Structure 1
Amino acid sequence: MDFSSSKGLAKELVVMRLITKDQANASLRKLGGKNKTGSDLLDVMLETSVLTPFQVESIKRLDTDVLILGGCKLLYPNAAGSFARVFRAEEIETGKVVAVKLLRHRWVNDPETIDLFRREAELGMKLKHPNIVPIHSVGSENGYHFFIMDFVQGGNLKDFVQIRKQIEPAETVKYAIDMARGLEYALRLGFTHRDLKMTNVVFSVDGSAKLIDFGLATDDELLEKVGEGGVQHALEYSTLEKKTGAPRNDPRSDLFFLGTILYEMLLGEPPYPRTKVREERKQITRYRNIRPLSDAMPGCPGYVAYIVDRLLHINPDERYQSPTEVIADLIEAKGKLDQAAAAQQKEAESGELVIPDEVTLMCIERRPREQDVLRDYFTRHGFRVLVISDVERAVRRLNTDPPHMVLCMTTLRPEESLHEVYEDLITASSIHRIPTVMMVPNVEADHKIPLGREDIIHLRPQPMALRDMRKELTLVGQQAGIIPKEVPK
């Protein structure tokens, strides 16, 4: 490359198709004078943004083969790992902005790693879905291995969470639906992700979440060799599956790591400490000892915390069994959150507490007269009331068609304990994260509620005036995100 002459260098850059003739002539005119060198020209092109800093530095290093790949000129690096780098690039013919993922030079003589890289690209080319970033082509030129995909303008989820710290439940659920739909589509074609983490979730300008970097299902030997590179997260997948008896490439593993993403979005902290120590990442206790979100974040709506905690169940049989299954619960949660937001808006405009029309209150009361009183009173105050006299029937209803809240008027003999008589009800309410107020004759008695269920099972004394009972239910409903909080007057 001729750096002795500005005109000579300009001609070479035009031949390379890195710049146009018009750009070359404009830069030479701006440079002016005689005896100007190629370095002088590069300074002008950098100043006028004809070339980027990355391009200028590559030209100075005589490393120009990397600047044009697959009919695209690379503009600047956008993301990097020890396995590959991603560049913002531009199609020479159309000017369209794209992303070029480039295998690092250290791997160019390693057939297995090259095969892994190409496998990712070829798999990605088969995936055409609104929540998956499409890959358009894969190639090798000048000793470089690369593939070309859409460039997504909105940044990645990790940066988003670092800036926002915590993401509101409604927004988290919206993005969770996007991610789960991408996983659902890929699974229908027989593919799992195997590297689901926040840096592999990006945002488009329309605010939707999209998945990148499918296809990293690798064997353990290749994992050992690649080490801390772009497939490092696959070690977590391998550990989780081996130590829980799950089959390799289990789709439910993607759901577990979807749970880790949602956990960090909501809480602002990861479910387990990050570490680069390989042996620590291979310990199953790291994944087993996750504190339930329902405990770590009491203010999170119970039905949202339930979804995350179920995704993070260490036993794969206790997790959601497919993306489709989790999508159904996420859509239901989104509906509840949307309605709560609408009720809050209506409340703010009217200055009065508004109970959403869809809030169903199950009242468990065996006495017919009291049943009528409860039904009439709570219906008049905006609840949809379901009265059940038998606890066993109530438990069956909780397991098949759960209400939003439960009010249980308990009856206990002196020798009976609350947990013994109402164990099935407490368990069902806890599993389905249904806020349950249990009216007990003596709230000071030693009524043992299982550890970790105190945010679901609330003990209150009876007798209690209906007005006070409604206040207690409203407070519990507000804490669970079911009933909007009262506007201060």
Structure 2
Amino acid sequence: MSGVTAEQLAQRITDSALMDSHQLDSVWAELGTREVTIDQFTSLLTRREFLTNYQLDRLLKGEKGGYFYGDCKVLYLVGTGTFARVYRAVNIKTGRVVALKALRKRFRVEPGMTEQFVREGQIGAKLRHPNIVPIYEVAEKPSPFMTMEFVEGRNLREFLKVRKTLSPLDSMRLAVDIIAGLDYAFQNGMTHRDLKTSNVLITSRGRAKLVDFGLAGLQKENALGEGDIGNPRTIDYAGLERASGARNNDPRSDLFFAGCILYNMVGGEPPLPETKDRTQRLSVQRYQNIKPLSQLLPSCPKRLLAFVSKALEMMPEKRFSSAAEMHDEAKRVLAKMEAGEGDQEVTAEAGPAKPGAPMVIDSDHEGSGKTVMLIESNIKMQDLLREKLKKHGYKVLVISDPVRALARFTEYEPAPADCVLFSALELGEDALDVFNRFGSIEHTKQIPAMIFADPRQVDIVKGAQLTARRLLLKYPFKVREIRDALLGMLRPGYIRASAAAADES
């Protein structure tokens, strides 16, 4: 690994305040000696979730800072953009997991950059809409950062790298979400100016959320100037507006790029050729010579083709006049497509699309579109259940701390999971306590949950508060039993016949 000893690493951990003395003492006690290899030491630290691999890598390199921003502790690096790095972090006071965006070091010394970053974040923090990632906190010290909702899922760019294309119906559903977010922002006096697939996050439930509203304002206003920083997307916006003769910062530019995203989802490639060459990005021909979507997908519903065609009109007066108009038309097109009027979409497996149905990621699996949270501290059990449930289509989120898991469910945000599995096999009373609290809190009591316990854990078996949505599964059990329970509990309109049935499980 590195030349650092376990004792030296422990001192760096103490200096960084990532662990307290009691936690370190418990690690030494479990090891039974301090004469251990660095691999043995770090393996136990990660297994007990005291530190993440990202934190350990930085500590081993001798990095002394960058672990805390305000009340938030950085867990992992999620991504790096032109101006900022994005981390998965946790608020140490509330336990809430957040996405933390920190301005990159080289821009902190740029005149006005810190002020602009903070100002744009504060403006974005005023937006509260189901299709916009909310900003919780914006701060300038210790260095400029903002915290946002951490969306369990991936961005649309990553999603399309795997899927290549989405069905016209799923694409249109996501487009309605995207345009709904734009419409709300427009009504509140804000445009996006950096609309692209990587700024659209797809949740575990197949919904779209927009991120980075206003952050394109970090660019100098004239993206055609010689001294600008050169964000490619800002150049795209400027190129479109120059080609069409529109004024700088025309809000209808966002509508054009929303159309580009829909085109990309359906056709499997972007309408504007991707290039790093600045001259080509500003070329009028780039916007004039867009290949008709019908050439990429001749079977595409005509209503969707007409919608995309209008959105991609180069002249802004020929596009939708506002996000509100575009949103209304998008909803009409989607309703017609869902009803199968004229352009019905049928698959051999699924039959006709149902109105309002969520995006189906993998219709061959029983758990498709469903997310299960597993609260379990045993690594082998984590791996076993995750593997078995994923095999049948479930998305599985694994957390070893019941309290931290409960903090993921908040009153004002969509639930991160459709069902929660509490394992008391090793977590004992901690799992029982949170299981019972989960069943009594107003915004979680309707979410199905199961608790696993050994029959010898008599206090837990007797203490579990079971209801129609709260089941007890006694160990040992088969994964098939969990799957059967999930199929029943996640069925629309599910009602457990009796408490006796729950006891028998």
TMscore range, shorter length: 0.5 to 0.7
> Could you say what secondary structure the match of 1:214 adopts?
coil
Aligned to 1:167: 166
CA distance in 1, matches of 2:86, 2:32: 36
Residue deviations 1:311-366 (CA, integer Å, cap 9, x gap): 000111101111111112211111111111999799989x9x9xxxxxxxxxxxxx
Aligned to 1:177: 176
CA distance in 1, matches of 2:245, 2:57: 51
1:50 and 2:50 are equivalent in the alignment: yes
Aligned to 2:312: 312
Pair 1:304–1:54, CA change in 2 (3 A):
same
Letter aligned with residue 196 of structure 1: L
Letter aligned with residue 52 of structure 1: T
1:27-426 equivalences under 5 Å are 27-35=27-35, 41-42=41-42, 44-46=44-46, 48-142=48-142, 144-215=143-214, 216-217=216-217, 218=219, 219-220=221-222, 225=227, 227-228=229-230, 231-340=231-340
TM-score, normalisation: structure 2? 0.63
Structure with larger Rg: 1
> Could you say what secondary structure the match of 1:66 adopts?
coil
Residue deviations 1:215-250 (CA, integer Å, cap 9, x gap): 12341269755635xx43111111111221212211
Pair 1:164–1:81, CA change in 2 (3 A):
same
> Could you say what secondary structure the match of 2:98 adopts?
strand
CA distance in 1, matches of 2:209, 2:31: 44
Letter aligned with residue 65 of structure 1: G
Deviation, 1:203, is 1.8
Aligned to 1:372: none
> Could you say what secondary structure the match of 1:155 adopts?
strand
Aligned to 1:466: none
Residue deviations 1:153-186 (CA, integer Å, cap 9, x gap): 1110011111111111111111111110110011
Q: Aligned-residue CA RMSD in angstroms?
A: 3.0
Q: Percent identity?
A: 38
Any conservation in 1 of the 2:312–2:319 contact (CA below 8 Å)? yes
Pair 1:296–1:204, CA change in 2 (3 A):
closer
TM-score, normalisation: structure 1? 0.65
Any conservation in 2 of the 1:136–1:147 contact (CA below 8 Å)? yes
Pair 1:253–1:221, CA change in 2 (3 A):
closer
Following TM superposition, the consecutive aligned residue runs of length 4 or more in structure 1 with deviations greater than 6 angstroms are: 37-40, 341-349
CA distance in 1, matches of 2:225, 2:129: 28
Any conservation in 2 of the 1:294–1:306 contact (CA below 8 Å)? no
Letter aligned with residue 290 of structure 1: I
CA distance in 2, matches of 1:46, 1:145: 29
Residue deviations 1:352-403 (CA, integer Å, cap 9, x gap): x9xxxxxxxxxxxxxxxxxxxxxxxxxxxxxxxxxxxxxxxxxxxxxxxxxx
Any conservation in 2 of the 1:113–1:222 contact (CA below 8 Å)? no
Gaps of 5+ in 2: 353-505
Deviation, 1:5, is 7.8
Pair 1:326–1:40, CA change in 2 (3 A):
same
Deviation, 1:263, is 0.5
Aligned residues between the structures: 346
CA distance in 1, matches of 2:90, 2:227: 33
Any conservation in 2 of the 1:5–1:35 contact (CA below 8 Å)? no
Pair 1:223–1:155, CA change in 2 (3 A):
farther
Gaps of 5+ in 1: 354-489
